[in-house]
Structure 1
Amino acid sequence: MSNHACAQRALSEESGITQLRPRSLHSQAMEEIYGLSIHDIRPRAASSSTSSEIPTPFRLNVAATAATAVAAGSLAWYYHLFGQPLHAMTPAEEGLRRGFQVYREVCASCHSLSRVPYRALVGVTHTVDEAKAMAEENEYDSEPNDEGEIEKRPGKLSDYLPSPYKNDEAARAANNGALPPDLSLMVKARHGGCNYIFSLLTGYPEEPPPGVKLPDGLNFNPYFPGTGIAMARVLYNDLVEYEDGTPATTSQMAKDVVEFLNWAAEPEMDQRKKMGMKVLVIGTALFAISVWVKRYKWTPVKTRKIVYNPPVGAGTASRH
């Protein structure tokens, strides 16, 4: 090969232009017979800069190790700050049984809990027999009989906790015109949630601050909007007697009843979180399996190479 040809070939390779070989007699014959133009295309040589950008197995291993270390460190940091068991709350830790006792002996005289059935207490604050016994202490309207009369029946586990008043008018008449709200969703309905209710229950001073004048029938509480609330202080030391011997201080009773109201707002939260954990674990496993199956099934399709094999004797036929 002459120097001019070598220089031209080097120039074409550096500029990225593929070089085509002259068509042979066989190629001309295939073009005439099948209408195809077959060229021998020389691939462009990969540059050194491109090869340096390709990740090596060592780099991939280092990146995977670093990502694993960061994930493990994040989990350790999160557990250090918010480390709790996988359940949302337990009766032993949160005192739900004590909170229900405070609600039943103190709060139930004015406030209802109409969205909580007796069956929700089973396995959380009471046993089945205890919940049945509490339900049977109250009477509920039965279905109309053949004569259309409605009779009273003992309560069942499917019944909801009763209201202290028959209707809102009776509640207002018994509380100087103020309507005691239902406590089923009180934690969710108030800004601040548990903190607000706890502060409200424990925030009654012995005497209003000097210069504060309230209308008749209102009590001073700095945590209530407007500082004037119709509900008087209801929690005092040793107001109830806990079954487990816990000292019934004002703050302890307020904490227990607030935790119970927090549970009453979402009784299914434990089951929902456990189901969510199961969904995450199973979903992650299924996703990993689906990725592997996809790569396994599509590897032959994506890596196959189609090569054209010309028929034998095609060049001889064109000559004749």
Structure 2
Amino acid sequence: MRLNMASKFVNFGSKLFKSSKNLLSSAYAKRSSSSGSARKWIGARQKLLTFGALTGATGLLMYAMDASVDASSDNVHPAKQLWPHKGLLTAIDKESVRRGYQVYKEVCSSCHSLQYIAYRNLVGVCMTESEAKAEAEGITVHDGPDEDGNYFDRPGKLSDYMPMPYPNEEAGRAANNGAYPPDLSYIVSARKGGEDYIFALLTGYCDPPAGFALRDGLYFNPYFSGGAIAMGQLISNESVTYADADVAPSASQIAKDVTTFLCWTSEPDYDIRKLLVIKVFIISSFLIALTYYIKRLKWSSLKTRKIFYLPEIQENAKKAAEGAKNSK
């Protein structure tokens, strides 16, 4: 299917190029009697239009190939969710990030790592500095060498990154039937569909359809490529106990919180960049308005001036100049 779509659009692009070339050549033939400057202008226009036609055909080809890949994929496309932080003037829910970190620590950290997130990144987002220090001191870091050249174990600090669940990739594969759990630091940005895909994957476990054979140790999830996934369904109702009694720990709420947390780990500066864009827009609007006013003010005298040719004044000035010359 992918090759058929690509071949169709390649043929369409070639036909478009030939038609544009014929059109431009006929237009050029009609103007062959024009001057040399006109011929140069038509030639430049012909090149520009040909380049535009080729660029448009290439864009259509790329769009068709991407659409064919989506249409021929072997997994169900996730439904669009209304995430609060997707608005223009909205930020990531810090309470949801805090609950999502709890879900990650209690459910996901035994298999998945966050090797690009340090404990200092949690300060001001989902916990205070003292809470982050206490959280970091709960791990043991193998550090060194010291002044004597020896390695030692010490409590964690804010500058330390979150620990890996396995010492190496081989140990991770051995503990998960040959499947290595991916790092979750940038998982939302790394997967097509982003937050929608992660949420659908966590809540989309179901029984396999008739005729679908699963190997031992695999589970069926229609949102995962191929349908067979090594990670079992870990999120269910009340699988995590929240400290806030007003938030019900349903499976969808837990999945939403951990997805929001992973969205923040993928872009820790998400709110800062959005705030910067708002500031740039406000300042640019003011500067553009000021620049437009100054332009109108400075150029108004030049745009409204009028030049008159008065032969009488010129003759009088010429006579006056000759008289002054003769008097000398």
TM over 0.5: yes
* 2:258 aligned with 1:244: no
**Map of 2:191 onto structure 1:** 190
**Map of 2:200 onto structure 1:** 199
Matches within 5 A, 1:83-94: 86-92=89-95
| 1:124-147 CA distance string (max 9 Å, x none) | 211111111101111223342233
Shift in CA distance, 194/311, structure 1 to aligned 2, threshold 3 Å: same
**Map of 1:283 onto structure 2:** 284
**Distance (Å, rounded) in 2 between the aligned partners of 1:114 and 1:83:** 26
**Map of 1:209 onto structure 2:** 209
> Structure 1 stretch 263-272 or stretch 133-142: which is displaced more?
133-142
Sequence identity percentage: 51
**Distance (Å, rounded) in 2 between the aligned partners of 1:215 and 1:257:** 28
Query: Which has more radius of gyration?
Result: 1
**Map of 2:166 onto structure 1:** 165
Shift in CA distance, 133/298, structure 1 to aligned 2, threshold 3 Å: same
**Distance (Å, rounded) in 2 between the aligned partners of 1:267 and 1:209:** 39
Checking the alignment, whether the CA contact within 8 Å between 1:90 and 1:124 is kept in structure 2 is no
**Distance (Å, rounded) in 2 between the aligned partners of 1:83 and 1:242:** 25
> Structure 1 stretch 230-239 or stretch 135-144: which is displaced more?
135-144
**Distance (Å, rounded) in 2 between the aligned partners of 1:317 and 1:260:** 90
**Map of 1:222 onto structure 2:** 222
| 1:254-294 CA distance string (max 9 Å, x none) | 11111111111111010111011111111221222222233
Give the AA of the match of 1:148.
G
Instruction: Give the TM-score normalised by structure 1.
Output: 0.66
Instruction: Give the TM-score normalised by structure 2.
Output: 0.65
| 1:47-69 CA distance string (max 9 Å, x none) | xxxxxxxxxxxxxxxxxxxxxxx
**Map of 2:24 onto structure 1:** none
**Map of 2:116 onto structure 1:** 115
1:111 deviates by 0.2
Checking the alignment, whether the CA contact within 8 Å between 1:219 and 1:229 is kept in structure 2 is yes
Shift in CA distance, 84/197, structure 1 to aligned 2, threshold 3 Å: closer
**Map of 2:7 onto structure 1:** none
Give the AA of the match of 2:320.
G
1:90 deviates by 2.3
**Map of 1:270 onto structure 2:** 271
**Map of 1:260 onto structure 2:** 261
**Distance (Å, rounded) in 1 between the aligned partners of 2:323 and 2:88:** 83
Give the AA of the match of 1:229.
I
More helix by share: 2
Shift in CA distance, 302/209, structure 1 to aligned 2, threshold 3 Å: closer
**Map of 1:150 onto structure 2:** 151
| 1:152-175 CA distance string (max 9 Å, x none) | 222222222211111111111211
**Distance (Å, rounded) in 2 between the aligned partners of 1:295 and 1:138:** 65
**Map of 2:135 onto structure 1:** 134
1:197 deviates by 1.5
1:318 deviates by 10
Shift in CA distance, 150/215, structure 1 to aligned 2, threshold 3 Å: same
Checking the alignment, whether the CA contact within 8 Å between 1:87 and 1:274 is kept in structure 2 is no
**Distance (Å, rounded) in 2 between the aligned partners of 1:188 and 1:250:** 23
**Map of 1:76 onto structure 2:** none
- Structure 1's unaligned 5+ residue stretches are 1-81
Residue 234 of structure 2 aligns to a residue whose secondary structure is coil
1:148 deviates by 2.6
Residue 153 of structure 1 aligns to a residue whose secondary structure is strand
**Map of 1:178 onto structure 2:** 179
Checking the alignment, whether the CA contact within 8 Å between 1:111 and 1:181 is kept in structure 2 is yes
* 2:296 aligned with 1:295: yes
Shift in CA distance, 231/312, structure 1 to aligned 2, threshold 3 Å: same
**Map of 2:106 onto structure 1:** 105
